[in-house]
Amino acid sequence: KNKLTKVLSLTLALAFSATALNAQAKTFKVAVGDGAGGTQHELGKKFSAELKERTGNKHKAKLFLNGQLGSEQDTVNDAAIGTLDFSILAINNVTPFSPSVGILTLPYMIQSLDDAVALTQGEVGKELVENTIRDAGVRIIGWAYSGFRVLTNSKRPITTLEDLQGVVVRVPKNEIMIDTYKAWGINPTPMAWSETFTALQQRVVDGQDNPYITNYAMKFDEVQKYITNIRYLFSIEPLIVSEAVFQDQKPAVQKAILEAGEAATQHSAAWLKDQEANIKKELASRGMEISDPANGEKEWIEKAKTAVWPKYIDSIGGKDKLNSVLKSLGREGV
């Protein structure tokens, strides 16, 4: 009897300490909007490896690709209320929750990877982190860089705005992007990212825009034929954490999360430089036809800037703000 009691209490003690350990270890859920092989996936993989290492294998981050955890915009809501831990999504799907983020989606604002890095990792980025915590309940802890959003479609080669007329283009539910297409003379179709492949496949829409890397990761070459190299938006994809979940973590874990996010950001810029040209070639070899916009994109640029910039100056923080950002990029003010 005595022996039995001893065995029982030992078993109980073991069970108890195992539970205590488990209570500390955590596998965070990370929603990823895109499929495997894109910049979002790459950022997520690096983040998860770094987090594991920095927490001595205790905390893990499990990625759910292809919008399995909901549309990109829904994941912001879920993270805000703390039912989702992390999400990696395109910045244009954060703007509706925090208008100042629109500075990163103004057409023709960001003209290179260097501009994107300067804005996200400098003062502007720091402010946007604060603003999204305040407005949207999520904290940006990393950035992926995906390149310019090129226009794809299944109808015809497009180089001029005339060619664009009559083409039905899907856009994210982002006012700035909707207005940009309106400035180009068409009424685009706002639609969640998670529904886009099927809509292209069923010809509900003829086209959409996203970076080479994203078009490749989403296998859009299976449902799209033509690419136009417009450069109105350089795609930036933040890694966000629910602010509620973040505040729930011990300081050492918070530190590990922030550092893992930073390491993933550095990795993302290098990865883009390494991959983009090859992926462009790969899409061409799969039969996609690539053209440049006519006239050095002049008409596209003029129409978009004239119609869209004045309309959004206030929501992104006013004219002085815009001019100081332009100046920091070495460009003329408005």
Nearer to ligand MLT, 44 or 172 (CB): 172
Nearer to ligand MLT, 73 or 100 (CB): 73
**Rounded Cα distance, 149 and 184, in Å:** 16
State the nearest-atom distance from the C-beta of 33 to ligand MLT, in Å.
Answer: 4
State the nearest-atom distance from the C-beta of 323 to ligand MLT, in Å.
Answer: 27
State the nearest-atom distance from the C-beta of 87 to ligand MLT, in Å.
Answer: 10
Nearer to ligand MLT, 184 or 193 (CB): 193
177: number of Cβ within 10 Å: 23
State the nearest-atom distance from the C-beta of 237 to ligand MLT, in Å.
Answer: 6
Helices (H) and strands (E) in the chain, counts: 13, 10
DSSP assignment of 99-135: GGGGGGTSTTS--SHHHHHHHHHSHHHHHHHHHHHHH
Nearer to ligand MLT, 32 or 316 (CB): 32
Nearer to ligand MLT, 42 or 313 (CB): 42
State the nearest-atom distance from the C-beta of 138 to ligand MLT, in Å.
Answer: 15
User: Could you say which DSSP state residue 173 is in?
Assistant: S
Report the residue closest to ligand MLT, judged by CB. Answer: 90
- 316-324 long-range contacts, CB within 8 A, separation 24+: 316/99, 316/100, 316/102, 316/103, 316/106, 317/100, 317/103, 321/103, 322/103
Give me the residues that bind ligand MLT (CB under 6 A), please. Answer: 33-34, 72, 89-90, 92-93, 172, 193, 210, 214
State the nearest-atom distance from the C-beta of 251 to ligand MLT, in Å.
Answer: 32
Nearer to ligand MLT, 213 or 313 (CB): 213
Q: Which two structure tokens, joined as six digits, stand for 253?
A: 């874990």
Chain-centre distance of CA 225, in angstroms? 24
